[in-house]
A and B are shown apart, each in its own frame.
Chain A
Amino acid sequence: MFCLASLFVARGQQTRVTLAEAAAQTAQSEVRTLEALAQRVRQVAEKAPRDPHENKSLELALAETVATTLERRISDAISIETVSVTTGGGVTRVSPVAEMARPVPLSGGQLRAVSLRIKGTYGHYQGLRDYVASFLSLPVAVTSFNASDRSFELTLAVFGS
């Protein structure tokens, strides 16, 4: 009985050791990933000039993006069918921007993002190219891009504090 009890306890202890060591290894692996990421972010930050959108609120960044979307239509021969937020309660429902936002992973909650989808048609190739390039001056990342015949679909991630 004593031996059996000892074996049972030893097995339980071994499981605890295995779990603890697995947790430590996972955490250390995450540290290595984050160190690589931090290095990359540092490089990006060092190369970039002073950002006029530093600490800009998400609401303001979103408003500027939507304004740009609409302002460039005529000059770039773009026809917009829909502009919608992909993370919201619906096209017609009014929601706070904060509810539409998603925290940017690994930013420690300091940065948020809203996903915006633009559907439309374009008149000519250069117009579409210029229209897409107009977003590069904003804190916006193009996360998906489809173009077929004369129609296009663009998904943007708008960043802000």
Chain B
Amino acid sequence: MARPPFFAKRSMPAQAPAEVWLATWLTSKTLAHWRVTADGASGMAAGTARVEADRVIAFHPEERRMASAPRSIESAKSMVIREGLSIERVRVVNRSRQDGLIYAIPVGCLESLIDDSSGSASYGVGHSVGHSLTAPDKPSIARIAPGLMLVDRLLARAGAAAPTQSGRPFAVLIDLCTRADQASTARLRRERLVIGVVLGDPSIQPTVVCSVTDEPVKDVARLVLYEQKLPDDAPWVLFDAADLLAAAPEVDAYPAEPEWQGVATRRIVNATLAASVVLAVAGAGYAFDTLQRIRGADARANEARERIDRLQGEIGALMRSRPSALAKELSLDPGAMLDRAGELWRAGARVSVETRGATADYTVSVPFSQVRMNFQNRPSAWSVTERARVAAVLAIEPPSGCTRSGLRATGALNEVSLVISCESPDSALARVLPR
């Protein structure tokens, strides 16, 4: 392939890190970790990245990349499953709003990239860097970032120099010379880590090929294109360690733990537990307060009952010692009732008295006529109409504390009556009357 590669613009931003960690799934089916500096890539021992790196950009064959309209994290996860890109739970880097892209990786693959006990191996190129598992400034494990996003960021930084807009499939090659080459003058051939990614056909997933080789870059590019059955003249673009270091800060990491709506589930669980504890403490406080109130009310009730017993005993003793006085206090006063009946009496009228509890009803009745009977007990023509007597009864004013009813009459209208109701003052002793 004589076609010269596109070269990305090289500009080292001020915030470019001194080193970037990579994890690659090599063509030899082994996992290798790399520390990339401006000088190149150094192969690292298994587990080194776990304790030394903050973030590892991983190129894993199970990683997926898809175009998407803006959507939420949960929706992005659902889309990955729905599109059949993964049958496992995935974690995603959701760039749908910024770049229209979603990166996803199965959770199991993510864990295998971090966990050094999962059988991963370091590629034995170069020298392993010694490390401390108890490094005090690095207590947490490294987070994994999508390698495909690194590729996209490299292309974005390349701008017009990249064949992104050509509409044809193309290859991206990241050529990283290894530190071993530079350290060893005995080796004639330059051995390099080459990461090749084929992009451009939206219907297929990008293909990642990572290999350690001493072949020229153009041969590696041809190999990558060949494996994807692309023609030899397909465009390809080459980046190096400096490009990688410049673009790396723009790569987001996958969530380090399960999330729900962008919030780590551990934080949700912790918040729920904290709320439960607060609720439990509040419940216990409420229960204690309630118990105190019940005890207080019971104490008041018991005290009142004791007082009731003492009062009943006192009242009973007094009643027993003065039964006649108590009876007089409780008694109606028939003499006074008869006196009042006499006051209400009018000539020619009749007065009756009837008690209803503490109320005495006095009924004053007067006939319309003074009937005189003749032979065979028939009304006589000599019957006298008692107009004045009826008027006298109608003129009765109720005594103080009494009420007067309206006039009443029999159906035959031979007698009229009215009722004067007088109520005795309510006595506190009325309660002791036997029922």
Contacts and interface: CB of A to CB of B under 8 A. Distances in A.
Nearest to A157: B434
B322 A125 contact: no
Contacts of B355: 144-146
Nearest to A16: B294
B313 interface: yes
| Interface size bracket, A side | 35 or more
A30 B326 CA distance: 21
Shortest 8 CB-CB contacts between residues of A and residues of B: A48-B325, A27-B304, A108-B316, A148-B352, A20-B297, A139-B323, A141-B331, A110-B316
Given A31-B304, A107-B312, A148 B354 contact: yes
Interface in B331-369: 331-335, 337-338, 341-342, 350, 352-355, 360, 363
Contacts of B432: 37, 104-107
Contacts of A161: 320, 323
Contact of A44 (B312, B322, B352): B322
Contact of B315 (A23, A53, A107): A107
Given A51-B325, A108-B312, A154-B334, A30 B434 contact: no
Interface in B15-52: none
A45 B321 contact: yes
Contact of B316 (A9, A111, A143): A111
Given A13-B290, A140-B327, A37 B337 contact: no
B326 to A, nearest CB: 6
B308 A42 contact: no
Interface in B285-311: 286-287, 290, 293-294, 297-298, 300-301, 304-305, 307-308, 311
A41 B334 contact: no
Contacts of B314: 38
A125 B345 CA distance: 13
Interface of A: 2-3, 6, 9-10, 13-14, 16-17, 20-21, 23-24, 27-28, 30-31, 33-38, 40-42, 44-45, 47-48, 51-56, 61, 102-111, 113, 115, 125, 128-129, 132-133, 136-149, 154, 157, 159-161
Contact of B279 (A2, A27, A108): A2
Given A147-B341, A147-B353, A41 B326 contact: yes
B328 interface: yes
Contacts of B305: 27
B188 interface: no
Contacts of B412: none
Interface in B380-435: 427-429, 431-435
A53 B432 CA distance: 18
Contact of A106 (B287, B301, B312, B354): B312
B297 A143 contact: no
Contacts of B327: 138-141, 157, 159
Contacts of B297: 17, 20-21, 23-24
Interface of B: 276, 279, 283, 286-287, 290, 293-294, 297-298, 300-301, 304-305, 307-308, 311-335, 337-338, 341-342, 350, 352-355, 360, 363, 427-429, 431-435
Contacts of A16: 290, 294
A140 B326 CA distance: 9
Contacts of A20: 293-294, 297-298, 301
Given A2-B276, A53-B324, A107-B320, A149 B293 contact: no
Contacts of B315: 34, 37-38, 41, 106-108
B325 A149 contact: no
A31 B307 contact: yes
Contacts of B304: 24, 27-28, 30-31
A14 B297 CA distance: 13
B322 A45 contact: yes
B338 A34 contact: no
A147 B338 contact: yes
Contact of A102 (B363, B427, B435): B435
25 contacts: A9-B283, A13-B290, A20-B301, A24-B304, A27-B301, A27-B305, A34-B311, A34-B312, A37-B431, A38-B314, A40-B429, A41-B319, A44-B326, A48-B324, A51-B324, A52-B324, A109-B316, A113-B434, A138-B324, A143-B330, A147-B338, A148-B353, A148-B363, A159-B319, A161-B323
A153 to B, nearest CB: 9
Most chain A CB within 10 A, of B283, B307, B320, is at B320
A77 to B, nearest CB: 14
B338 to A, nearest CB: 5
B354 to A, nearest CB: 5
A38 B310 CA distance: 10
Given A13-B290, A24-B298, A142-B334, A37 B428 contact: yes
A6 B279 contact: yes
A23 B300 CA distance: 9
A54 B324 CA distance: 8
A139 B324 contact: yes
A21 B318 CA distance: 32
Nearest to B317: A110
Given A20-B293, A24-B298, A40-B429, A55 B353 contact: no
A54 B429 contact: no
Contact of B294 (A17, A105, A137, A143): A17
